[in-house]
Structure 1
Amino acid sequence: MSDKTRIALDVRDVEQLFSTFDPSPFHDFSLNTTAAQYIASQAWYAPPRNRFVIALSIRGKPATARDAAKLQDVVRVHFTRLAASEHQNLRQMIRTGVISLGIGLCVLAFCTALSRVVDNSSLPDGWREGVRDGISVFGWVANWRPAQILFYDWWPVRGTRDLYRRLQEATVEPGTPGPHTAEADEVAPIDTMPIAADRI
């Protein structure tokens, strides 16, 4: 079994792959949004240990070595930047989840103590049970958001970060269009992609 995943990229001119406006204070080239989404979407379902090879062609003919080298530099810079951003997002998400969990547990402890007070109060039975159960439910609901973050929300962020890290190591070489090369505009954005179980 091959350990490479080939991504065929056919363009009219290599310059159309690059962003014409980069708001960062650095003068690095960036991939334009359409090209980056296309490359990421083609890479998404690749086996997790495969390395990526981008086969670049110009109007159906293999690109020059100079164009391939330029694209490789831009791909490395672009996806390194995206990987760093996603790593920061992951760290912030985990931090938010831990802080939210601490707050949620404090609320749960307070609600548990308050429900015991209500349970020992002189309220009529129906009122006492209703108020006690309502307080208990509120205490558990306060932990819903941290549980969602710490059990579920971080998976897509880590999966995207790991994909970007793999793409920053991709090699670009002159090639020819593959049989399934698609127009980049037809490819789903990265944030709509599902998370495969073997990425977690």
Structure 2
Amino acid sequence: MVPVTHIPVDVRNVDQLFASFDPSPFHEHSLNSTAAQYIASQAWYAPRSATFVIELTINGRPAPAKAVQQLKAVLGDHFARMAANEAQNFRKLIRTGLISLAIGLFVLAICTALSRGVDNMPIPDGWREGIRDGISMFGWVANWRPAQILFYDWWPVRRSRNLYRRLTHAGVVAGSSKRGQADPENDAPIDSMPIESGPT
């Protein structure tokens, strides 16, 4: 059974969820960056196989159907754009890593040849070893950046891309009434919640 992660979103007014200025001529609304960051940060820690359901409430009460439908349409468009942007970043990162690797290996090959040539030079042994080791070290340092990209940097971008793709298909429902609940965190409106940095 696919796990479902419920993300509660409580606002004082549904317009808080949407950006007040949208430079794009193709979308009537864009999701507010604070709301998007909050939703993404909550979804980040969910199981990777989970689907998402946004539970929308206004002042602790279930949101009307119009607000639910409006958020669902904007939510899908917003995270689809973010997923496309992260997919582009992922391709650029891998391309940069491969180009850097080719350059690094070329530099390493040259440095290896030079370090071997140093062995045949008529210089004192101490100097010979120092120069040879320095050239070899330079060759390996040239491969530090591609190693960082291809071993470490790509997976957070890929995970963010996949997360945004899943959020594109998130369901939006009217949340249950929060009147009488004792947990102040559940009742806090979205604009007063501490927002984490989110997936980067």
* TM norm. shorter chain > 0.5: yes
Query: Post-superposition shift, 1:2?
Result: 6.5
Residues 28 and 77, structure 1, Cα contact 8 Å, conserved in 2 = no
Q: Could you say if the C-alpha distance between residues 122 and 25 of structure 1 is closer, same or farther in structure 2, counting changes exceeding 3 Å?
A: farther
Query: Post-superposition shift, 1:60?
Result: 1.0
TM-superposition CA deviations, 1:26-82 (whole Å, max 9, x none):
234111111001111111111111110011111111011111010000000000000
1:70 corresponding residue in structure 2: 70
Task: Tell which deviates more after alignment, 19-28 or 7-16.
Answer: 19-28
- 1:86 lines up with 2:82 in the alignment: no
Task: Tell which deviates more after alignment, 2-11 or 81-90.
Answer: 2-11
TM-superposition CA deviations, 1:3-34 (whole Å, max 9, x none):
21111111111111000112234234111111
Tell me which amino acid in the other structure corresponds to 1:27.
Answer: H
Give distance in 1, aligned partners of 2:75 and 2:48: 19
2:58 corresponding residue in structure 1: 58
Residues 169-184 of structure 1 mapped to structure 2, 5 A cutoff: 169-176=169-176, 177=178, 179=183, 180-181=185-186, 183-184=189-190
Give distance in 2, aligned partners of 1:148 and 1:187: 29
Unaligned ranges ≥5, structure 1: 193-200
1:36 corresponding residue in structure 2: 36
Among 183, 189, 200, which residue is 2:197 paired with?
Answer: 189
1:112 corresponding residue in structure 2: 112
TM-superposition CA deviations, 1:82-122 (whole Å, max 9, x none):
00000000000000000000000000000000111111111
Query: Post-superposition shift, 1:148?
Result: 0.3
Residues 2 and 49, structure 2, Cα contact 8 Å, conserved in 1 = no
Query: Post-superposition shift, 1:162?
Result: 0.9
SS in 2 for 1:186: coil
1:196 corresponding residue in structure 2: none
- Give identity over the alignment, percent: 62
Q: Could you say if the C-alpha distance between residues 140 and 189 of structure 1 is closer, same or farther in structure 2, counting changes exceeding 3 Å?
A: same
SS in 2 for 1:49: coil
Unaligned ranges ≥5, structure 2: none
1:132 corresponding residue in structure 2: 132
Residues 118 and 131, structure 1, Cα contact 8 Å, conserved in 2 = yes
1:157 corresponding residue in structure 2: 157
TM-superposition CA deviations, 1:131-153 (whole Å, max 9, x none):
11100000000000000000000
Q: TM-score, normalised by structure 2?
A: 0.91
1:198 corresponding residue in structure 2: none
Q: What is the aligned residue count?
A: 192
Residues 54 and 171, structure 2, Cα contact 8 Å, conserved in 1 = yes
- 1:101 lines up with 2:101 in the alignment: yes
